[in-house]
Structure 1
Amino acid sequence: MTSILLDLAKARRAGKTYGITSVCSAHPTVLRAALRRAAATGRPVLIEATCNQVNQFGGYTGMTPEDFVSFVGEIAGEEGVSRDNIIFGGDHLGPNPWKKEPADTALAKAEAMVEAYVRAGFTKIHLDASMGCAGEPVALADDVVAHRAARLALAAERVSKEIAGAPLVYILGTEVPVPGGADHVLDHVEPTAPAAARSTIEVHRKVFAEAGLDEAFSRVIAFVVQPGVEFGSENVVAYEPELSQSLTALLDEEPQFVFEAHSTDYQSLVALASLVEEGFPILKVGPGLTFAYREAIYGLDMIASEMVAGYGNRPLMQCLEKVMLAEPADWQGHYHGDEASLRLQRHYSYSDRIRYYWARPDVTAAVARLFEALRNVSIPETLLHQYVPLVLPAATLPLSAEEIVIAAVDVVLADYDAAVMPSGV
């Protein structure tokens, strides 16, 4: 199954470029939408978990890597998707969850995390040791990052051999965009300088060779660089291909690799297709999918308020506001401004920090109450047009409330599918 990843660079050189969407989410509705689309198209689906989200201690989802694979597998079984058609990826695997601890302690935990991911069946491994730990600079030198990545790769290779697993493919790089988007307004993002990308590749090649990892390095498929895309709390920086032409020209000198594009959320279909064509065929998306989920479910909250006697005035939104104010750690520090601005950002920000709250017990109960309120309720097309308009062109009505939310997420996935549409895969 990893052949679709190993062949990305070869296909680009042959003029038969294709890509793959990396679905970075643990939200069950997002996963169901992605797996349902995979069942319909018959194409492989790449699902990734991040180091903060899923790790050996449970992460913020409470899931270990093994738990996450089982969780996705259960939904896949319900949607008729074979486990063989799912590629599991580990994103930002490194010391980030423990970066406030001394480097040795954080890296030991990162090693254990990488081992747990590989043992669970993850085969696409993004090694990210670019962040400083306690007492270190925020950004580390390329050679330090490369040595730490090699240490993590050694752990991954050791476990892969032990379990006789499928060959691992690696993503490397030191210029890694902030996970989850920036926390301030952006009007421009400078693409990675070609010289910096070239140096990163050369340093990793040298360090991996010194560590006896030549064969593993042959399975490095991509480096993470900044193509000039990003989103902040309130705006999106659109991809401009002409700004990254000198960067993507480097791929002609390094035919083994492509680039992986992070933070592609909220880009247009034209921009996504350009990214794939120019040399960024791995498109990572996460907050953009849960943003679509929130849009749809808030629309249904308003529809139920309009249609269902006794439901109340947007009780789901009010529940989330109450929970976010009571437990502010997942949004505080990411949003800025006066109280009115903070309230809007809590619910409607592109950064989508609200995604951390959907699994809270009070919120899951409020979502269940919403779906129950709308069960067997025929929602007029005019109300859908008012509150959830994006699903109308793509959906066959009538839809249940649950199907409306899945359809809203699928509208986003459809653009990614169109952008990465494989040729001959």
Structure 2
Amino acid sequence: MERLDLLEIFRELKEQRKAVVSVCTANQFVLDSVMKFQKEKDALVIIESTSNQVNHRGGYSGLTPFDFRKMVLSLAEKNGVQTQKLIIGSDHAGPWPWLSLSANEAMEEAKKLVSACVKAGYKKIHIDTSYKLADDVICDKFIVARRQAELCYVAEQAYKDVSHEDPIPPVYVLGTDVPPPGGSVGAGSNDTVTVEELLEDLDMTRREFLKLGLQNAWNRVVAYVVNTGADFTSFDVVPYESDKFSQSKSFLLREPYVLEAHSTDYQRLESLVRMVHDGFAVLKVGPELTFRFREAVFALCDIEEETIESQDRSHLVETLLSEMRANPKHWKKYYRGDDVELKFSLYDRIRYYWSSEKVEAALKKLFTNLHSLRVPASLIHQHLPDVVEDISGALVIDPFELINLKIRLSLEKYHRACQNAQV
């Protein structure tokens, strides 16, 4: 098997002014679609789990890093994806899920998370310590840099424990100008850092790494996160403004890194292409893909309502809303709480509830009800017009394929942008 040369991969992305999509989700339907798409395009893809989604305690998905990697590799094998085309990583590895704990407690949890990710075989570690913890008086750039170094030290120690059976050490992504996981709360922000601030952060972090003897690890820092200014709220998308990054090229010329863009969800193709032109070689996406999944499932519920007797329906939407209201912790900071926002917000906090036992049972019933059902093509077109063109005759429903086609709409957009498509 061809060895994965991570440093060379990121070097080539920078030289060729291309990009790679980083899919940040633990949703199996989304990941299955990603694998199918990747196999068809023969493209490199990064799959990352976020720290609140997957961690050593199970996260909201119930998966540890070992479980997550096993699931991803299983889906890759099922779809014939070559492992040298796949990078598994950790998004926002740090204290984010434990902000209510003291700094010592939160950092201990973060260290356990980072160690678990590396020992599970994750190869791209985004270290994110840019959050004020419960007893922090301040969380300035020095504290952020020191904590990044501390977590990298733990990662390197963890790799030593498994290096005898794994010849590929992890690479790192740093940067303090980090949008919060899953979208910011409020109207979004177009604030971006200057090149001078980037270089100051970089120098400070480098010094903290060297204090801990992490020169070798520093040589494996491949990307820096910079806030693109692109963002989204429940019902609005803040577009990327390329002119704010006219200075970024000087940073890229001076340093060996690529830029990594977070919160690129829902951006138009032309905006994503401009990001790639401006040096963003990693485009992270998550909520947009689970939003597409949710759209497809809700469309299937509408089709079910037209074809299945009431007493035999899945009642999936009602079950989801009931679960969200019974356990509001995943959305209460983001939503007012009305049904429209719970169901259709771009934040897609609904993604936290698909693993509920009741929701899983309702989803299974929906698929059972519709699978192989022969219906007028116009009925499917009515609810999924962007994935089914036929309006005459009859079609046999394959729920999984319809979901896959819906998710592909976003994957195709990202693929074109990463290939530096001309728009």
Q: Do structure 1's residue 85 and structure 2's residue 98 form an aligned pair?
A: no
Aligned to 2:183: 181
Output the CA distance in 2 between the equivalents of 1:295 and 1:261: 25
SS at match of 1:347: helix
Asked if the contact 1:192/1:227 (under 8 Å) is kept, the reply is no
How many Å apart are 1:170 and its aligned residue? Answer: 0.4
Moved more, 55-64 or 345-354: 55-64
Moved more, 303-312 or 196-205: 303-312
Aligned to 2:371: 375
Structure 2: segments with no counterpart, 5+ residues? none
Output the CA distance in 1 between the equivalents of 2:246 and 2:389: 35
Structure 1 counterpart of 2:162, one-letter code: I
Q: How does 1:346-357 map to 2 (within 5 A)?
A: 346-357=342-353
Q: Do structure 1's residue 411 and structure 2's residue 409 form an aligned pair?
A: yes
Question: RMSD across aligned C-alpha pairs, in angstroms?
Answer: 2.1
Output the CA distance in 1 between the equivalents of 2:111 and 2:388: 47
Count of residues in Structure 1 that have an aligned counterpart in Structure 2: 412
How many Å apart are 1:101 and its aligned residue? Answer: 1.4
CA deviation profile, 1:217-260 (whole Å, cap 9, x unmatched): 11101111111111111111111111221234321222x11111
Asked if the contact 2:372/2:397 (under 8 Å) is kept, the reply is no
Aligned to 2:169: 167
Asked if the contact 2:142/2:204 (under 8 Å) is kept, the reply is yes
Aligned to 1:72: 72
Moved more, 376-385 or 214-223: 376-385
Q: How does 1:27-38 map to 2 (within 5 A)?
A: 27-38=27-38
Output the CA distance in 2 between the equivalents of 1:304 and 1:4: 46
How many Å apart are 1:85 and its aligned residue? Answer: 3.2
TM-score by length of 2: 0.92
Aligned to 1:192: 193
Structure 1 counterpart of 2:223, one-letter code: A
TM-score by length of 1: 0.92
Residue identity over aligned pairs, in percent, reads 36
Aligned to 1:62: 62
Aligned to 1:222: 223
Structure 2 counterpart of 1:386, one-letter code: Q
Output the CA distance in 1 between the equivalents of 2:311 and 2:367: 11
Output the CA distance in 2 between the equivalents of 1:116 and 1:200: 27
How many Å apart are 1:182 and its aligned residue? Answer: 1.9
How many Å apart are 1:392 and its aligned residue? Answer: 2.8
Aligned to 2:43: 43
Q: Do structure 1's residue 388 and structure 2's residue 376 form an aligned pair?
A: no
Output the CA distance in 2 between the equivalents of 1:285 and 1:11: 18
Aligned to 2:398: 400
How many Å apart are 1:393 and its aligned residue? Answer: 6.0
Structure 1 counterpart of 2:186, one-letter code: H
Output the CA distance in 1 between the equivalents of 2:65 and 2:303: 38
Output the CA distance in 1 between the equivalents of 2:44 and 2:226: 24
How many Å apart are 1:305 and its aligned residue? Answer: 0.7
Output the CA distance in 1 between the equivalents of 2:63 and 2:12: 36
Structure 2 counterpart of 1:175, one-letter code: D
CA deviation profile, 1:61-96 (whole Å, cap 9, x unmatched): 111111111122222222122344321101111111
Moved more, 20-29 or 205-214: 205-214
Q: How does 1:95-114 map to 2 (within 5 A)?
A: 95-114=95-114
Asked if the contact 1:98/1:106 (under 8 Å) is kept, the reply is yes
Aligned to 2:202: 201
How many Å apart are 1:4 and its aligned residue? Answer: 5.2
Q: Do structure 1's residue 145 and structure 2's residue 141 form an aligned pair?
A: no
CA deviation profile, 1:187-212 (whole Å, cap 9, x unmatched): x5122222221211111122212221
Q: How does 1:125-140 map to 2 (within 5 A)?
A: 125-137=125-137, 140=139
Aligned to 2:156: 157
Q: How does 1:297-376 map to 2 (within 5 A)?
A: 297-310=297-310, 315-336=315-336, 342-376=338-372
Aligned to 2:115: 115
Output the CA distance in 1 between the equivalents of 2:223 and 2:42: 25
CA deviation profile, 1:24-45 (whole Å, cap 9, x unmatched): 0000100100111122222232
SS at match of 1:249: helix
Structure 2 counterpart of 1:154, one-letter code: Y
